[in-house]
Structure 1
Amino acid sequence: MEFLRLGVIYVHLVACCVAMGLVLTSDVAMVSDLLKQKIPSEHDNAHMEKLQKSVVFALIGLWLTGMAVVGIDYLDKGMDYFMNPKLQAKVIIVVMLSYNGVLLHRLVLPALQKAGSLLHLGFSARMLALFCGSLSAVSWMYAAMLGVGRPLAWKYSLSELLMAYPVLILLGFIVMSALTYRAKRQMEATEPQWIELSAR
């Protein structure tokens, strides 16, 4: 049973690393585009769709392997295992990630593809996109921290383990909102010049 658990955890970690790598790559590219005022091309949109599908598959892999680990540990430790605050915190964050992924897939990505750029979204849609992006980035990092934080098990309560989670999401949202606002102001300042030059 020990070797089975080790193998499942290994697959679980690989899926987590793949998903985090893809998410961080996407976030860095988005921030870079904002700073450069780059408008996504059709190639960028196609790449984003493939990226999202890869993250979905990785998330499914995390759910399956995570449930397998929980099942193995339950057989070994009984019902008391489910009282572990660290396990409860991980489940809450993964549920948040999954729900956030549905929002990204059904609302945010279609709106981005239609608008062509984050800067061209309406205010409400742009705020939703920034919040979902911030929640995604923070959740992946937070879940990974809980995953490797074995000393945290049974040492802190659920509220203590999750105390920094909403704070980090809020900070991420504020930073991304400030970057987007700056990029939008710069874009609006340069657009009249392009219109004037094209009119000549």
Structure 2
Amino acid sequence: MEFLRLGVIYVHLVSCCVAIGLVLTSDIAMVRDLFKRKTFTEHDNAHMESLQKSVVAALIALWVTGAAIIGIDYLEKGMNYFMNPKLHAKVIIVVLLSYNGLLLHRLVLPALQKAGSLLNLGFSARMLALFCGSLSAVSWMYAAMLGVGRPLAWKYSLSELLMAYPVLIALGFLTMLVLTQRLKRQDSVVISPRTVASAC
């Protein structure tokens, strides 16, 4: 049973690492494209769809292996295992990640592909995209921290374990909001002189 648990945990960690790598590289690339004022091409759209499928596969693997780990630990430790606040925190974050992934798939990514750029989205759609992106990045990193943080088990309450979680999401959202608003303002300043010149 010990080797079975080790194997399941290994797959669990690899799935998490793959997802984090994909999400971070995608977020960094999107910020870089914002500064370059680059719009999505057909290749970018295909890459985004492939990325989305890979993250979904990693999320499914996390659910399956996570459930297997819970089952194995339950057989060893009994019902008391389910009282662990760290377990509750991880389940909450993975549930939020799953719902957030659904929003990204159904609303955010189609809107981005249609608009061609984050800056071209309407205000409401852009706010949703920024929030979902911040929630995704923070949640994957936070889940990984909880996964490797064995000393956190049983020592802290659920509220203490999740205390920094909404703060980090808010900071990520505000950072991207300031960045996009600044870039939008720069674009409007550049466009205005051109409009005046063309009118003359």
Residue of structure 1 in register with 2:20 after alignment:
20
Instruction: Number of aligned residue pairs: give it.
Output: 200
CA deviation vs aligned residue, 1:142-170 (integer Å, no higher than 9, x gap): 00000000000000000000000000000
2:13 aligned with 1:9, yes or no? Answer: no
1:95-147 deviation digits (Å, cap 9, x = unpaired): 00000000000000111111111111110000000000000000000000000
Instruction: State the match for 2:68 in structure 1.
Output: 68
| Within-5 A mapping of 1:157-168 | 157-168=157-168
Q: What is the TM-score normalised by the length of structure 2?
A: 0.95
Per the alignment, residue 189 of structure 2 pairs with 189
| Cα distance in 2 for residues equivalent to 1:131 and 1:32 | 18
Contact 2:8–2:69 at 8 Å: present in 1 too? yes
Counterpart residue identity of residue 89, structure 2? A
**What residue in structure 2 maps to residue 115 of structure 1?**
115
* SS of the residue 2:63 aligns to: helix
Extract structure 1 runs of 4+ deviating beyond 4 A: 192-200
- When residues 138 and 40 of structure 1 are mapped into structure 2, their CA distance, relative to the original with a 3 A threshold, is same
Deviations along 1:72-106, one digit per CA (max 9) or x if unpaired, are 00000011001000000000000000000000000
**AA of the residue aligned to 2:187:** M
Q: What fraction of aligned residue pairs are identical, expressed as a percent?
A: 80
Structure 2 unaligned residues grouped into runs of 5+: none
Partner of 1:130: 130
Conserved? CA contact 1:39–1:116, under 8 Å: yes
Distance 1:13 1:142 in 2: 13
Contact persistence 1:35–1:179 (CA under 8 A): no
What secondary structure is seen at the aligned counterpart in 2 of 1:38?
A: coil
* Contiguous gaps of at least 5 residues in structure 1: none
